[in-house]
Structure formats: structure tokens, C-alpha cells
Structure 1
Amino acid sequence: MEMQRISRTEDCSPFPIPGLAADILHMRVKEGSKIRNLLRFATARMQAEARDSNGTSLRQVVFSGSGRGVTKTITCVEILKRKVGGLHQVSKLYYKTVNEVWESPQQGAPGITMERTVPAICILLSKDPLDPWESGYQPPQTLSFAALKMSRCSVRWCRCPCHDPV
């Protein structure tokens, strides 16, 4: 018989990015999160038409994920950067402690508590400029993919990734 997880808790460590507003939009990405749902919500909040309770548009959003949610977190951020455009980014990697309690289906069998350390990522996206000297900073993308493709290589017979096969 297999053990069954009955609870999972993560440490509530503060964001590794300094100076975040207390009311910032925080998108927690989990392994089972649906990317389209996360992006629909975040995109609507970051669009110029979206206003908060004070009548101002949302200027920043933080995406965070841990364990198997890290790759999904990065995917969400990259898609949102293309949809909204002009976003400054700061990315921080860190570790989280996760506690899991498992119990056996057999009566009287002892349960197990496991403490694991898992990788995590926290990514701040901002319409406003961020400190370019902050580690993990990335400026907004300014070139479109087509412009980037054309600017890389001018040789017609080239087989580099910037060209479609001839």
C-alpha cells in the first residue's frame, strides 16, 4: 500500500527582490496552473485600460513559482512580455523549504514528515524603469523578431538559426 500525502506547506520567506510595494499583483504559478488562465488575468491587469481601485493602471506584477512550477513561471513571463511589451524585468533564483506530511493507509502505521528544499524563481515585470545594476535585470525588448532576424545575417545561403532553410 502506498503512502498518501495529507498536507504540504511552504515557508513564507519574503520576496528576494528588494523594494516591492505591499499591494503588488502576485501571480503564484504552480505545477497544475493553466498558463492561459494566468495570462488572461495578468494581461488584463497590465493593459492600459485596466485600472485599480485608485483609478490608476497596474504598473508591476510579480510571478513566482517553485519546484516543477519554475518552468511554467518563466513561460508565463516570456509570453506576457511579448503581449504587453516594454516591460523591465528582474529575476531572482532562490530556494524554498517545503514540508510534506504523509500517512499510511494501514491503521496504526506511523506517518512520515519530510522537509525538502526546492528551487524557486521570482520575476518582477515593471512598466517603469528598474535599477539596471540590480543582479538579474533585463531591459525591455526593443527589436521585433522579424527585425532581429533580418539584422543578424545578410548572407543568402547561411544556415544559421536566424534564417529559414533555403
Structure 2
Amino acid sequence: MQPSVRSQSDPGRDPSARIKQAHAGGFKKVCRIEEDSVCPFPGLPSDVLEMRVKEGSKIRNLMGFSMTRMQDGQSQVVFSGSGRAVTKTITCAEIMKRKIAGLHQITKLQYKGLREIWESQEEGDAEMTIHRTLPCIRILLSKDPLDPLEPGYQPPALWDPRPAGEASQAPEKRSLDPAECLAEPLGKRVCV
């Protein structure tokens, strides 16, 4: 019978190496605890809409809920995500900026602490704790003006209000003159 092993993560060891060791040693993740991080936007009202984006979140669900709330009078929304959800968080903010004109944006990057507890699947009660830090992004979008001197501020984008079909009209094509194409060297030949 194996002795009980209670191990804290070694500061000198890479967390990904410890996770590989846990998988190879017959361990199973039983608990994941994310540390709360301080909101980087001081002075936000308590009723601000916070959308926590996870790796498995569906963008259409996130956008459906947040767009409805913004159209019903909500003036600010914060999209936050960490780890593998960072790109999905950015995508949600960019979609909202395209659909609702005139949104001011402040983006903040942070790190969030994460503690995972792994238990052995074999006999004995061996347990391993792994501490990691994950990148975290928070994006505040606001209909109301924000402080332009705040680091991470982006002013509202100027989008073309015309529908997509009208905005991209193809330029008029000119007739092809073969003599014009042959006058230039072969590598630079461009006929339109």
C-alpha cells in the first residue's frame, strides 16, 4: 500500500510538467479554485452587466443576452475571460462594437491565480495541489464617455452606416487591352 502523499506545488517546477506527471501517475482533477481578482475599473456602478466568458461558452448565447440588455437601457458591459477564453472575450467585445455604434472601450490585462487539486485514482489517498497563473482580460464597453487618459482606452470606432451590400461596390472595370499588358515585363504584368 502506498503512503499518503500530500504535495504542494514546487516553486521551481513548471505547472504543466506537474499536470503531465499527475495524468501519468493516475491522478484525476477533483477541484479547480480560481482566485478572485480586483476589478481594474474603479467607480463602476454595482448594476453593471458583467459577462464572464468561459472556454466552452457559445458566442451567440453571450451576445444574445448582452445585446438585449444593452438595447434595453444598460449603458455599460464588462466582458471578462481568462486562459483559453481570452480570444473569445475579445471576439465578443468586437462584435458588440460593430453592432452598437459609439461604444467607448477600456481594456485591462491581469493575471489570475488558479489552484487545482488532483487525487489519485489508485488505492490510497494521495493528493496533489498545483498552483498556476492565467492571463485574464477585462473589456469595459460604455455608451457614456470614459476617461481618454486611462491606459487601455479606445475611442468609438467610425463605421460606415450603409448596409454591407451598398458599402462595397466594385469599381468600374476597364476593357482589357492586350498591347498594354505586353508592354510591361512578365513579372509585373497586371491586367484589370
1:74-85 equivalences under 5 Å are: 74-85=90-101
Structure 1 gap ranges (5+): 51-56, 151-165
Superposed CA offset, 1:70-107 (max 9, x none)? 01000000001111121000000010001111112112
1:15-164 equivalences under 5 Å are: 15-47=39-71, 50=72, 57-144=73-160
**How far has the Cα of 1:22 moved from its partner?**
1.6
Query: What secondary structure, in the 3-state scheme, does the structure 2 residue paired with 1:12 have?
Result: coil
RMSD: 2.0
More off after superposition, 58-67 vs 4-13: 4-13
* Contact 2:49 2:76 survives alignment (8 Å): yes
**How far has the Cα of 1:30 moved from its partner?**
0.6
CA–CA separation in structure 2 for the residues paired with 1:143 and 1:71:
22
Q: Which structure has more helix as a fraction of its residues?
A: 2
CA–CA separation in structure 1 for the residues paired with 2:31 and 2:161:
45
**How far has the Cα of 1:15 moved from its partner?**
1.0
CA–CA separation in structure 2 for the residues paired with 1:145 and 1:99:
47
**How far has the Cα of 1:3 moved from its partner?**
2.0
**Match of 1:135, as an amino acid?**
P
Total equivalences in the alignment: 142
Task: Decide which of 13, 27, 32 is 2:37's aligned counterpart.
Answer: 13
Q: TM-score, normalised by structure 2?
A: 0.69
Identity across matched positions, percent: 57
CA–CA separation in structure 2 for the residues paired with 1:58 and 1:11:
28
**How far has the Cα of 1:59 moved from its partner?**
0.3
CA spacing shift, 1:145–1:109, aligned 2, 3 Å: farther
**How far has the Cα of 1:145 moved from its partner?**
8.9
Structure 2 gap ranges (5+): 1-24, 169-191
Q: What is residue 18 of structure 2 aligned with on the other side?
A: none
**Match of 2:107, as an amino acid?**
S
